[in-house]
């Protein structure tokens, strides 16, 4: 049962710190082989942190977010956005606050929207908004909320990017902090009706962002100012991912699918500085 007393309550602040090694570990977790993301001592190469590492630090890590007396096998990551106020550094320390901003009744489940804000010693660094869908927790008579579905362009993509996830992709990614057994324990995954553990949604999100940075920002992660997308289906480690991308005004519209045609991130958008 949902604890509706969490609505509007600001949690924190708490402190999160990371090192250059953590940035390297995260990059490998999202399949990177580019030297700026995976090495700190290559000649003529300056290390960069992937911007989506901000989410690995503040989502699905301690302190855990508690929605009430909920079966965690029936909680799905529905949507995610990230806004960067300046480039994400390879090492640092932040003060984090989190707040549930909305609880929507979607009938078959409840949608809980949370916002995270992070500041460091020089000011705001990033903000993130995530939505969690709680299966079977709807029907409580609350507001339904507006539909947030954003359509990608209907014409042929400007680029199609491809990445084959590794069979142990989730096991590598979990070293960045998300130890949810849904992504590693077959018994726990089976409780949620899954044939096997699935890949973290934020791992697929990070892989997608990395591929787009390579294709549209010349590998410069510092140009990313925002990314958003809606999770529509799980990825199984070993799946091949295809990212269709369209140049769209000041950003890139994207949709990520498996090679079998299953859409896993829809209505995506990446915003870059010029």
Residues assigned a catalytic role: 178, 183
Pairing verdict, β 240-248 and 159-164: antiparallel
Q: What six digits make up the tokens of 14? A: 């708490």
What's the gap between Cα 48 and its chain centre? Answer: 18
Pairing verdict, β 251-258 and 240-248: antiparallel
């Amino acid at each position: 049962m949902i604890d509706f007393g969490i609505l509007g309550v600001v949690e924190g602040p708490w402190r999160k710190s990371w090192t250059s090694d953590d940035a390297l570990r995260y990059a490998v977790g999202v399949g990177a082989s580019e030297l700026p993301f995976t090495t700190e001592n290559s000649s003529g190469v300056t290390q960069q942190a992937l911007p989506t590492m901000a989410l690995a630090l503040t989502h699905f890590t301690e302190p855990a977010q508690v929605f009430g007396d909920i079966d965690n096998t029936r909680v799905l990551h529905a949507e995610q956005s990230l806004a960067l106020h300046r480039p994400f550094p390879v090492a640092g320390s932040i003060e984090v606050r989190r707040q549930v901003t909305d609880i929507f009744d979607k009938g078959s489940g409840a949608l809980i929207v949370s916002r995270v804000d992070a500041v460091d010693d020089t000011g705001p660094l990033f903000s993130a908004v995530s939505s969690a869908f709680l299966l079977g927790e709807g029907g409580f008579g609350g507001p339904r909320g507006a539909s947030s579905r954003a359509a990608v362009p209907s014409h042929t993509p400007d680029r199609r990017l491809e990445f084959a996830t590794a069979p142990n992709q989730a096991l590598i990614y979990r070293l960045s902090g998300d130890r949810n057994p849904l992504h590693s324990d077959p018994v726990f995954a089976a409780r949620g009706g899954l044939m096997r553990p699935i890949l973290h949604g934020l791992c697929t999100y990070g892989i997608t962002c990395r591929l787009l940075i390579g294709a549209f920002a010349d590998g410069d992660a510092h140009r990313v100012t925002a990314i958003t997308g809606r999770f529509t289906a799980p990825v199984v480690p070993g799946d091949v991912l295809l990212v269709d991308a369209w140049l769209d005004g000041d950003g890139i519209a994207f949709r990520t699918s498996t090679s079998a045609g299953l859409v896993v991130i829809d209505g995506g958008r990446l915003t870059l500085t010029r």
